[in-house]
Structure 1
Amino acid sequence: MEDVLIFATVLLPIVTALIELVKRSINIPKNIVPVVSLVVGLLISADASPFTDLELILRLWAGCFAGLASTGLFELTYRMFEDGTTDES
């Protein structure tokens, strides 16, 4: 399980960047962004066999985690900088 989480952590910034690229280049509704993020995470993780020893099902789990986490990570940082609440004091 640790390997899956480590692989998901490596995939997370890649998926986040690709989702942001898709959002800026194609006008997609905000309510389907998590689904697109999940699909991108699954596709990238399935194609990452040269970079890891994990079996396909474990790579897909990592891609699922990375895809769903990337949407939450982007929204969290976007709202934090939008509200100006970067300083906790």
Structure 2
Amino acid sequence: MTEVLLFSSIIAPIVMALVEVVKKTVNTPINLIPVIALVIGLIVGFAAQPFSDLDLTLRLWAGVLAGLAGTGLYETVKQRNGESKGGEQ
């Protein structure tokens, strides 16, 4: 499990960058961004076979974790202005 977490932390910035490329080039609804990040994480995890000795299942799990973590990481550091929906104080 340690290898999966390490591998996912390595590929999370890559997934986050690819999600940003997709967001900038394709007009996508905001609520689909986590699904897109998950799919990109799976693809990156699958494609990382030459760089890791983990088997396919563990690489795919790491890709899922990286996709979801990359989305959460971006949303955490992104500047937000305004109020949440509802706006009551």
TM class, shorter-length: 0.7 to 0.9
Shift of 1:64: 0.3
Task: Report the number of matched residues.
Answer: 81
- Higher helix residue share: 1
**Structure 2: unaligned runs, 5 residues or longer:** 82-89
Corresponding residue SS for 2:78: helix
Moved over 3 A (4+): none
Structure with max Cα Rg = 2
TM score, norm. by length of structure 2: 0.88
Q: How does 1:1-89 map to 2 (within 5 A)?
A: 1-79=1-79, 82=80
TM score, norm. by length of structure 1: 0.88
Q: Distance in 2 between matches of 1:45 and 1:70?
A: 13
Q: Percent identity?
A: 51
